[in-house]
A = this chain, B = another copy of it.
Amino acid sequence: MPLSCHAFVAASLDGFIARPDGGLDWLEPFNAAEEDHGYDAFIARMDGIIMGRGTYETVLGFGHWPYRLPVIVLSQSLTVDDIPDSLADHVAITDMDPAELHAALAEEGWQSAYVDGGQVIQSFINAGLLTDITLTRVPLLLGQGRPLFGPVAGDVALTLLESRSFPSGIVSSRYAIARP
C-alpha cells in the first residue's frame, strides 16, 4: 500500500502559520472556541508525523508533548543528542530528503503520514509527495511571520474536496494536490 502524506495546518488570512519568533498565541482564542475543525479525526487516521526543526522546537516549548504517534524531525543540524530522554521512544531525527524519507517510511509500513511545518510542507509539495492539505484559515491579518507557502517550480493545481465555515470565522478547506 503506498504512503500518502497529509497536511493539516492553521494559517492567518495573510498566510502565516506562526509569528516571526514561532509564536502561536494568536491561535489560542480559536482553539478555545470548542469547535471541531476535524483535527482529532484527521490525526486518528495517521501512522506518524513528519515535521521540521522549527515546528519541533515550537512544540517542545509547549512544556508537554502532545503526540502519541511517532514523530520524525527533518533536520540537517539536529542530532539524537538534541532529543530529551523522555522523548527518546517517540522522536527520531533524520537528514533524509522527502523522497528518501517517503520511501523509507513506506518500507516500514506507514500508510498515512501527517506532514507539519511550513518548510516541510513546502518541500513535500515540491517533491510531488503531498497528497492533500487541510487549511484552517483564521480570520486575522498578522502582517509578518513564518509563511505556510513558498516558491514552487511551476503553478501547482489543487482540487477543492470540501470547505466549511465556523462561527469563530474559521474557514476550513481541504485540497488534493495534483502531482507535478
Residues of A within 8 A of B (CB): 13-15, 26, 125, 135, 137, 139-144, 148-160, 162-163, 165, 169-171, 173, 175
11 further A-B pairs in the complex, CB-CB below 8 A; given A139-B175, A143-B151: A14-B15, A15-B149, A125-B141, A141-B149, A141-B152, A142-B155, A143-B152, A160-B170, A162-B165, A163-B171, A169-B175
A175: nearest chain-B partner, CB-CB = B139
Whole-angstrom distance between the alpha carbons of A150 and B173 in the complex? 23
- Taking CB atoms, residues of chain B closer than 8 Å to A160 are 139, 165, 169-171
A-B pairs with the 10 shortest C-beta distances? A143-B152, A160-B169, A14-B149, A141-B156, A163-B165, A139-B158, A15-B15, A143-B151, A163-B171, A141-B152
Whole-angstrom distance between the alpha carbons of A142 and B151 in the complex? 8
Whole-angstrom distance between the alpha carbons of A158 and B13 in the complex? 9
